[in-house]
Amino acid sequence: MFHQLIANILPHLPQSFVWKFSKEYVAGQNIEEAIDNARILNAQSVETTIDVLGEFITFLDQAEANKKEYLELIDKTDSAGLKTSYSIKPTFFGLLLDKEVCKAHIREVVAKAASCGRFVRIDMEDSPCTDMEIAIFRELKQELPDNVGLVIQAYLKRTYSDIESLADLNTPESPVNLRLCKGIYVEPAEIAYKDHDEINKNYLKDLELMLQLKMFPAIATHDRELVEGSYRLLEKYGVGKDQYEFQMLYGVTPALRQSIIDKGHALRVYLPFGADWFGYCTRRLKENPQMVSMAVKALFNKG
């Protein structure tokens, strides 16, 4: 009730007020601010993956403008010499409006990143997008094997077999690079685990499969139990420090983040920025009001 109330009130509050809370989690409203924040993290030996906020566009011509923003982002971050990759949401390029146009835009972004020796990860959105996003990854992975990765969600019951189905793309020279996260969307119980323990069990099972297949896992979580479980699996399989990385969202659990870095593991921070920060934050909270308590908790407990 309380969560729902806050999530409903938030869109009606002045943006300047909401920004006071959001700036903990959003790396800026424009490219320059995102670059400044990425530079600060790079100076702390933390690499970043930068995301232009926005998703589920309703007119296809927005996709062209969104692609141009990514191309500009790649140019500017490359000129700034940042240690960064990029994360993209296919619905920002019109996945649900025209799959072919979307794919062409994503291909252009990945090709641009590849021309600078950089990497683009395709974020995973809600379940109507899953098959299409895997298909786009599959195609691009064959064209630009070193420059594209995908996200998979441990809450989906299908994920274990999705990992198996990607094994044919995996080679020692260019392992399949998958960010493993729990999943953030509200999905029906027929297709998704709902229970925290069940999701965590599945997360570690998925990670173990990736390690057995010698894929490159990007272990994206702020859950201490999963971080500990991942350490055990990395040790069990004798995984080299350059064969995986941890990932966390900007502003979330910085003390846990630092403890991972202190142990010598690579850690990348996901930096979302952009003009759509307000719409993005309020949409996410409305979809999943439980995030209100996470945001509040993280504000007061930075561990």
Residues annotated as catalytic are: 123, 179
Position 221 contacts ligand FDA (CB under 6 A): yes
Continuous segment of H or E residues that includes residue 107: helix 99-115
Interface with ligand FDA in residues 69-98 (CB under 6 A): none
Name the one range near ligand FDA by CB under 6 A: 30-38, 72-80, 136-144, 245-253.
245-253
* DSSP class of 30: S
- For the chain, the first-to-last Cα distance in angstroms comes to 26
Closest C-alpha to 253, from 234, 231, 226 = 226
Closest separation between CB of residue 173 and ligand FDA, Å? 25
Smaller CB separation from ligand FDA, 236 or 297: 297
Position 230 contacts ligand FDA (CB under 6 A): no
Closest separation between CB of residue 222 and ligand FDA, Å? 3
Supply the DSSP string of 226-294, one letter for each residue.
HHHHHHHHHHHTT--TTS-EEEEETTS-HHHHHHHHHTT--EEEEEEESTTHHHHHHHHHHH-THHHHH
Q: How far apart are CA 152 and CA 279, in angstroms?
A: 24
- Count how many Cα atoms sit within 13 Å of the Cα of residue 70 in the half-sphere of its side chain: 32
Supply the DSSP string of 44-74, one letter for each residue.
TT-EEEEEE-----SSTHHHHHHHHHHHHHH
Q: By rule CB under 6 A, what string of x and - marks binding of each residue 145-184 to ligand FDA?
A: ------x-x-------------------------x-xxxx
Contact with ligand FDA (CB under 6 A): which of 247, 278, 280, 281?
247
Contact with ligand FDA (CB under 6 A): which of 176, 253, 277, 282?
253
Contact with ligand FDA (CB under 6 A): which of 270, 273, 277, 278?
270
Name the one range near ligand FDA by CB under 6 A: 12-20, 139-147, 169-177, 222-230.
222-230
Name the one range near ligand FDA by CB under 6 A: 35-43, 77-85, 164-172, 289-297.
289-297
Distance from chain centroid for Cα 171: 23
Contact with ligand FDA (CB under 6 A): which of 88, 144, 211, 220?
220
Interaction site with ligand FDA (CB under 6 A)? 123-124, 151, 153, 179, 181-185, 220-223, 226, 247-249, 252-253, 270, 291, 294-295, 297-298
